[in-house]
Amino acid sequence: MTASKHPEKDLPGTRASKPVESPADGVQGEGDYKSAREFNEAERKFVQSGKVPAAARAAAPKSDAEAQELLEAEEEGKRHAKE
C-alpha cells in the first residue's frame, strides 16, 4: 500500500472523504438526540437513587485553597462566556 501524495485528502471531513451518513434516529454530534435521551435517563435514575447528597459532599472542596481555586476558575470561565 502506498501513501497518498496528499494525506490531508484522506482525513475525515475533507472533500476527498466519503460523506458521513446520518443515523436513522436523528442528528449526531452536538445535536445527538439518542445520546441526549440516554444522558437524561441516566441523570433521572441517579437523582432518584438518593446518592446526590453523598456525591455533592464528595465533590466539595477539600480545603479553603481548593475552594478559592474553584472560584477563580469559575470567574475565568465567566469572562470567556458568550452573552
Q: Is residue 74 part of a domain?
A: yes
Question: Does 49 have pLDDT greater than 90?
Answer: yes
Share of the chain above pLDDT 90, in %: 52
7 domain residue, yes or no: no
* Global confidence as pTM: 0.51
Confidence of residue 47 (pLDDT cuts 50, 70, 90): very high
Residue 81 has what pLDDT? Answer: 86
Residue 21 is assigned to a structural domain of this protein? no
Q: Which residues are within 8 A (CB) of 32 and not within 5 positions of it... i.e. 6 or more apart?
A: 26
Instruction: Name the more confident of 22 and 46.
Output: 46
Dump pLDDT digits (tens) for 54-78: 999 999 999 999 999 999 999 999 9
**Domain span at 69:** 32-78
Residue 13 lies in a domain: no
The total number of structural domains in the chain stands at 1
Residue 71 resides in a domain: yes
Sign of CA dihedral 41, 42, 45, 50: negative
Query: Is 70 a member of any domain?
Result: yes
